[in-house]
A and B are shown apart, each in its own frame.
Chain A
Amino acid sequence: MKEVIQCSQCLDDLNHPLGQVIDSSGLCTGCITHKEKDLIDWGKRWSELEKKCTEILKKGGNDAYDCIIPLNADAEDYYVVELALKLNLRPLLLYVNNYFGTDLSWKNLHTLETHFDLDLITFNPNIITYKEVVRTSLRKFNSIYWPYQAIKTAYPVRLALDMKIPLILWGGLQATEQVGKFSHNDEVEMSGWSRNQHDLFATDEVDFFGTGAQISNSEQFHYTYPDLKQANKIKGIYLSNYVRWDPWRQNHNMLKYGFAPEKTQHTFDQYERAGSSVFYSIHDLLRLERHGYLKVRDHLSREIRHKRITINNAKELYALYASQYVDIKPFFDWIGSTDSGYKLLLKERFKYSYKKISKKANKTIKIQDYFISSYFEGQNHCSTKDFVIYHKGI
């Protein structure tokens, strides 16, 4: 029997980087797991979360903070903070600067901090080293996100250990929400394994720094996870296991706190990673090269599951987004690539997406008509500065 590789209900196929399975009826695990949301008693689940938090905090810890909330500076952060406050927790916000944030991203970060009047720690990795690690990531793995993912998932645990804060609150568990890799009933928590498998795509620090990176051992420190036994002292909870997770709807609701969505021609979702200069440009093209699809496909599959768009409309919309142009030159200027290096990389690494790389203006896609129901907002914002240098000493 020929193996089914395309889900019959959404746009996902077996090439998803987080790992998809399609069953004999043609449904992917993402669609199957999404159906659990209609069966779970979310009120009961919330009570379980409250109990869990109480248990964790009972052991004592920091006098001022109950939990750390790692931030991306996008709308989901606002929602996680809202839920943390509903749980009567005292959060410490933590932003790991990936240097890919635009002015809009910084605006959203500071609005979050000031609106909720919470303490925020911003960690700025050494930018010289960071750029070298990004270059290595691109050279070795055709990805630019490994360095950020590595720090973003390791630093909160180190900080929690240092400050004796026993809990880290994460928003959605992407592995469950995108591809249904776990059941919501599994209540999967943060772990060294999960970080390695899902955030670092099974490439650990030893694999990454093994050869080729010009980074000293001491500079590798922030990219590495603490000893697993130490890390075990900190609980990391994904809120999507305890709350009916609906990113577009919940992110839209964050407008009430002053979150500024971003108008982009690469997805209809103005909230996820709003203000990133790379997420829907070079990062997305590299996804296309490695896995054969653009991020908007994840958004469309999600909306099919939430019954806000039909599969046929989603396919049409995806085709429109797939024909949009992307300008990736600013990224290469940022990492200090020479013109000849840039041209060589275009030729060698962008085989499928080469034709998409252009400074040409994109078509404006009229998206509203494609959706049965939607969460658009008329007043979208645009970033004006792609890469904002904002770190110690500059």
Chain B
Amino acid sequence: MSFRIGATVLIGHNGNAIQSYGFKKKRILGNLQKVLKFLDAYKVDEIHAIVPFKGKGDSGSSRIFSHLSELSISTPLGIGGGITEINIEEITQDPFFERCIFNSAIFNNPELLQKTKSIMGHQSMVASIPFIIDDNLKIYHSKTNSFQAINDELWEEIGSNFNEVLLLDARAEGTKKGFNFQVFKYIKFPIDRILISGGLTKCDINKARKMGLAGVSIDNFALHSEYSIEALR
């Protein structure tokens, strides 16, 4: 399978696209419909549309997913952030997306993962894993809004439930300081089914391609210049 260059679009609670920097600072990007339309025109391989949950209560995801379903774009779409037992049947009734992206369910909701898999198929399952590395690898749990250590058991769960992993370097997110490839020392998941995101430079993208990763997902900078994606191919 060819190396994919996708883009991550974060969606705020008011339905606007937002930018995130270092997993802390937020800035508005703009009208969601136009953001997706232009990414479509710029020919990204796929779009990861995520509603950041970050420990908050109702994130309004169902309403946002419903809005997304009305947009006409031809680029394959992955959605995530707020897929729950309550809305999974509704949003998969007439799926306008190809992939479901999960974070908190990785930790403690195998039922939801099974249910989604049974409706959408294993190929649709993507684990979103924002990470930091201090002495060791820590991965983000959106429900508790914290980074926690990961054990072998959890890697096994991820391996059996997900087709792909989207690794986000949380500290490099929104910057040009480079993706932290040290993370691969800790990863127990097939490398050809991993996408990386956060702080990516052209050099990083070439490295990811050479390593045989599935692809990359560009963060904020996808729209910071005309056809930025094209220059990365």
Residues of A whose CB lies within 8 Å of any CB of B are 18-21, 23, 29, 32, 179-183, 185-194, 196-198, 202, 204, 228-229, 231-232
Q: Is the CB of A232 within 8 A of B226?
A: yes
Query: How long is the Cα–Cα vector from A179 to B42 in the complex, in angstroms?
Result: 26
Number of chain B interface residues as a range: 20 to 34
Query: How long is the Cα–Cα vector from A231 to B230 in the complex, in angstroms?
Result: 13
Q: Is the CB of A19 within 8 A of B227?
A: no
Q: B120 near A: Cβ within 8 Å?
A: no
> Which of A21, A189, A190, A202 contacts B31 (CB under 8 A)?
A202
Q: Is the CB of A180 within 8 A of B27?
A: yes
Q: B210 near A: Cβ within 8 Å?
A: no
Residues of B within 8 A of A32 (CB): 25
Query: How long is the Cα–Cα vector from A41 to B35 in the complex, in angstroms?
Result: 32
Q: Is the CB of A194 within 8 A of B223?
A: yes
Chain B's closest residue to A29 (CB) is B27
Q: B189 near A: Cβ within 8 Å?
A: no
Closest chain-B Cβ to A36's Cβ sits at a distance in Å of 11
Chain A's closest residue to B35 (CB) is A193
- Tell me the dominant secondary structure on chain B's binding face: mixed
Q: Is the CB of B220 within 8 A of A193?
A: no
Query: How long is the Cα–Cα vector from A191 to B175 in the complex, in angstroms?
Result: 20
> Which of A20, A182, A196, A232 contacts B227 (CB under 8 A)?
A232
Sample of 8 further A-B pairs with CB below 8 A, known A192-B38, A192-B41 = A19-B29, A19-B30, A29-B27, A179-B28, A182-B19, A193-B35, A196-B34, A197-B31
Residues of B within 8 A of A229 (CB): 227
Chain A-chain B contacts (Cβ-Cβ < 8 Å), number = 78
Residues of A within 8 A of B35 (CB): 193, 197
Chain B's closest residue to A188 (CB) is B224
Query: How long is the Cα–Cα vector from A32 to B21 in the complex, in angstroms?
Result: 12
Query: How long is the Cα–Cα vector from A170 to B18 in the complex, in angstroms?
Result: 25
Q: Is the CB of A189 within 8 A of B38?
A: no
Residues of A within 8 A of B19 (CB): 182
Query: How long is the Cα–Cα vector from A91 to B83 in the complex, in angstroms?
Result: 53
Residues of B within 8 A of A196 (CB): 34, 38
Q: B188 near A: Cβ within 8 Å?
A: no
Q: Is the CB of A183 within 8 A of B34?
A: no
Q: Mark B213-229, 1 if CB is under 8 A from A, else 0.
A: 00000001101111100
Q: Is the CB of A232 within 8 A of B230?
A: yes
Q: Is the CB of A202 within 8 A of B30?
A: yes
Residues of A within 8 A of B42 (CB): 228
Closest chain-B Cβ to A187's Cβ sits at a distance in Å of 7
Chain B's closest residue to A32 (CB) is B25
Q: Is the CB of B27 within 8 A of A228?
A: no
Q: Is the CB of A182 within 8 A of B224?
A: yes
Query: How long is the Cα–Cα vector from A328 to B19 in the complex, in angstroms?
Result: 39
Q: Mark B16-46, 1 if CB is under 8 A from A, else 0.
A: 1011010001111111011100100110000
Chain A's closest residue to B12 (CB) is A21
Question: Can you list 7 A-B pairs with a CB-CB distance of less than 8 A?
Answer: A19-B28, A19-B30, A182-B224, A191-B38, A191-B224, A191-B225, A197-B31
Residues of B within 8 A of A204 (CB): 34
Residues of B within 8 A of A190 (CB): 225-226
List 6 tightest A-B contacts by C-beta distance, closest first: A19-B28, A202-B31, A189-B225, A193-B38, A197-B30, A191-B226
